[in-house]
Amino acid sequence: MRATLHQIACFAALSACASSVVAAAQPLSAEQALAFIRISDLHFSPDGAQLAYVASSYRWDALPRVRIVDTATGSTHELTPAGKSARSPQWSPDGSTLAFLSNLGGKMQVHVIAASGGEPAELTAQRFGVERFHWSPDGRSIAYLAKDDSATDEGSDPRVADQDGNLARLWVVDVKSKVRRNLGRTGYRIDDFQWADATRLLLAATDKPRVEEFTDAVYSLSTADGIFNLVAQPPQPFDSLLTSPDGREFAVRSTGANGPIARDLFIGPLHGGALRNTSAVTGLAVADVRWHQQATVWTLLIDGFYNRIFRLPHGGAPVRVELPLSVAAFDVSRDGVLAYAGEDFEHLPEIYVRDRDGAIRQLGQVQQGWEGIALATTRIFHTAGTDGTPVEAALMQPAEPVAGTRPLVLLVHGGPAANFSAGYGWQAAWAQLLAAHGYQVLMVNPRGSNGYGEAFVKANRADWGGGDYRDLITVLDAVIASGGTDSARLGIGGWSYGGEMAAWAITQTDRFKAAVVGAGVFDQQAEFETEDRPAGDQWYFGTPWEHPEVFARNSPATYIRNARTPTLILGGEDDTSNPVGQSKGLYRALKHFGVETEMVLYPGEGHSPRRGEYNIDMFERILSWYDRHLAAQ
């Protein structure tokens, strides 16, 4: 999508302070590629004078930290000491206190600190820590989710599956006295909650906690008697529960057409009545929501490679807020000032403020140590798929000019109902590292990706490796046909669904000379039977006991005897999303058929490894693997 004149003007205004970087003296290293800071969870103080946010970096083993920045001067104060973790900053309704979750004393507990400064104080003391919390509207109490202290210690006790006593319960603690009381009820699993008013909570919960399918509903809960009352049953799946400022309505992110993910914003009354899809008119997917003024909902919508902010006024047409960068996170003050984390392929994430008159300024400087580091240029374009469906992609070029044709790596995003975004995150760091060392990197959003409408995101149901794979190859062929790419030096790689597509590709073609499979799926049935929360996969495939042919048809394992491509396999040993047996199965099969392969597993890591040294090791191995087999010069 082309930039508007307004965007171009904003870029010119920001050029003096934006985090774009200049020509590099040496190629980007794996360590430098991972040295960025991610910005999330922005929250204005009620008076708009301060902005709390969460910063995380692989320099800190991806441990999140809470920071407060002065919105007038940009001066920043960090609340989290080195080696500790903090997240979920929330201001009290009167703005006098900031609460957040932190492991300052060991387990994750609710901590509070005066807005004027001082030292954080621990408010809760749950044996197993606190999962999430929210201030009451009157600021006197905080409700939170936590296991009972009598729950099983999963580190030492026998693990009995589906024990009701191990489910998190709802608690309310008085902020002044620290007296807590349990509002939890047995037989329910509570996944989310919000205050409706000072005496009622709204819950996203299920009364079928043993059922591994989407069964949540919205309930109200009186803090006086703890009784649950059914409010609504939104389309499944749904998440992101919110209550309106006046406490009379609620919102959830759900699906308007039985899709695989929650992507539409539904609003309905607390006292019964139909839910209305307020975002459907945009055709875009909702990523985040702010509802601070009763008449207007602010939404972050996914529009292909760019995330954009829209205002959804009650009874009116959506209004797009013109901004020069893609938005990673945002908040809106009570008087309409917008703060957002802006980024694209050439700009590292920074915090910007858009004042009510539309003027945009950068707030402080989040990224440090990037002076003299060049980010590769990237072109976003569209290609018609095999059936004519438009497919959007981005081609990242080597940071330094290369004579003749260049090797290319096809990078596949995770998901599958996710997408590549114009920005700098973990996947972009992988791409930028390769581009800095002479590779073209192709990033495609094939059918099944989010950000292109409900029909597009549903288009790979029971068809992983079908239309989505053809989209990837069609775009790749179009890039090769345009010139500048060495078709004899092609690589492929990705993480999660991207790793699975890399594993799939090597069973379908021998045109790729090197592959990297990160935390992928090899055998769909075995993965379904061992993963946590299989409801998402059930939407795509059903169950393997009822539809074994679907699982087999969508499994790289079924076709593995065709593989010839040298393959590097990476994963976390404690992965519960795509369990480590998937990596081991692929590794064993490739060895059996005489295919060159290496497998590297990272102890103590889950689906997305967090330790900085492990991520640096992965990136160095990835670069070395492609260099060995694609001989980039």
Q: State residue 601's pLDDT score.
A: 98
CA 167 to mean position of chain CA atoms: 25
Q: How many residues does the chain have?
A: 633
Token code pair at residue 167: 């489910």
> Does 293 map to a domain?
no
Output the domain CATH number for residue 534.
Answer: 3.40.50.1820
- Do 346 and 399 belong to one domain? no
Q: State residue 450's pLDDT score.
A: 97
Token code pair at residue 355: 């004042």
Q: State residue 154's pLDDT score.
A: 80
Strand partners, 56: 38
Token code pair at residue 396: 């990242």
Q: State residue 161's pLDDT score.
A: 87
- What CA–CA distance (Å, rounded) separates 471 from 383? 9
- Do 351 and 427 belong to one domain? no
For residue 353, CA distances in Å to 45, 324, 587, 588 come to 14, 12, 49, 52
- What CA–CA distance (Å, rounded) separates 523 from 556? 7
Dihedral angle computed from the Cα positions of residues 266, 269, 270 and 275, in that order, rounded to the nearest 10 degrees: -40
Phi-psi region of 48 (alpha: psi -120 to 50; beta: other; left: phi over 0): left
pTM for this prediction: 0.94
> Does 227 map to a domain?
no
* SS3 (DSSP) at 16: coil
- Do 491 and 357 belong to one domain? no
- Do 357 and 447 belong to one domain? no
Pair 314, 303: CB distance under 8 Å:
no
* SS3 (DSSP) at 342: strand
> Does 242 map to a domain?
no
The residue from 307, 340, 375 where one domain ends is: 375
Q: What is the 3-state secondary structure (H, E, C) of 491-550?
A: EEEEECHHHHHHHHHHHHCCCEEEEEEECCCCCHHHHHHHCCCCHHHHHHHCCCCCCHHH
> Does 354 map to a domain?
yes
> Does 461 map to a domain?
yes
User: b or e along 548-557 (b: 16 or more beta carbons within 10 Å of the residue's beta carbon)?
Assistant: eebbebbbbb
- What CA–CA distance (Å, rounded) separates 430 from 28? 11
- Do 343 and 419 belong to one domain? no
Pair 397, 378: CB distance under 8 Å:
yes
Token code pair at residue 541: 């495939």
- What CA–CA distance (Å, rounded) separates 531 from 542? 15
Ranges assigned E (strand) in 233-272: 239-243, 249-254, 264-269
- What CA–CA distance (Å, rounded) separates 68 from 570? 37
Token code pair at residue 5: 């004149």
Token code pair at residue 524: 């769909």
- Do 542 and 488 belong to one domain? yes
Ranges assigned E (strand) in 16-91: 37-44, 50-57, 65-70, 76-78, 86-91
- What CA–CA distance (Å, rounded) separates 447 from 317? 28
- What CA–CA distance (Å, rounded) separates 261 from 255? 7
∠ CA 170-63-31, rounded to 5°: 160
For residue 13, CA distances in Å to 176, 491, 632 come to 47, 39, 38
Give me the residues of the chain with pLDDT under 50, please. 1-24, 633
Quick count: other Cβ atoms within 10 Å of Cβ 233? 12
Q: State residue 3's pLDDT score.
A: 39
Quick count: other Cβ atoms within 10 Å of Cβ 68? 20
- Do 445 and 465 belong to one domain? yes
Residues contacting residue 31 through CB under 8 Å, at least 6 positions apart: 616
The residue from 331, 352, 375 where one domain ends is: 375
- Do 364 and 510 belong to one domain? no
- Do 456 and 486 belong to one domain? yes
For residue 528, CA distances in Å to 69, 381, 519 come to 44, 35, 14
The DSSP bridge pattern shows strands 512-518 and 567-572 to be: parallel
Which of these, 515, 505, 481, 608, lies nearest to 559 by C-alpha position?
Answer: 505
- What CA–CA distance (Å, rounded) separates 12 from 440? 28
> Does 250 map to a domain?
no
Angle between helices 467-481 and 497-508 (to 10 degrees): 70
- Do 363 and 423 belong to one domain? no
Which of these, 264, 304, 316, lies nearest to 287 by C-alpha position?
Answer: 264
- The count of structural domains within the chain is 2
Pair 429, 420: CB distance under 8 Å:
no
Strand partners, 444: 393, 412
> Does 171 map to a domain?
no
CB-based contacts of 72-81 (< 8 A; 24+ apart in sequence): 74/362, 74/363, 74/364, 74/365, 75/364, 76/364, 77/117, 79/113, 79/120
CA 504 to mean position of chain CA atoms: 24
- What CA–CA distance (Å, rounded) separates 500 from 493? 9
Q: State residue 632's pLDDT score.
A: 53
> Does 336 map to a domain?
yes
Token code pair at residue 169: 């319960």
Q: Is the peptide bond before 416 cis (omega within 30 degrees of 0)?
A: yes
- What CA–CA distance (Å, rounded) separates 548 from 194? 41
Rg (the chain; Cα; Å): 25
Angle between helices 426-436 and 612-630 (to 10 degrees): 40
Q: State residue 468's pLDDT score.
A: 97
The residue from 331, 348, 375 where one domain ends is: 375
- Do 463 and 489 belong to one domain? yes
> 364 is in which domain, residue-wise?
1-149+322-375
- Do 398 and 542 belong to one domain? yes
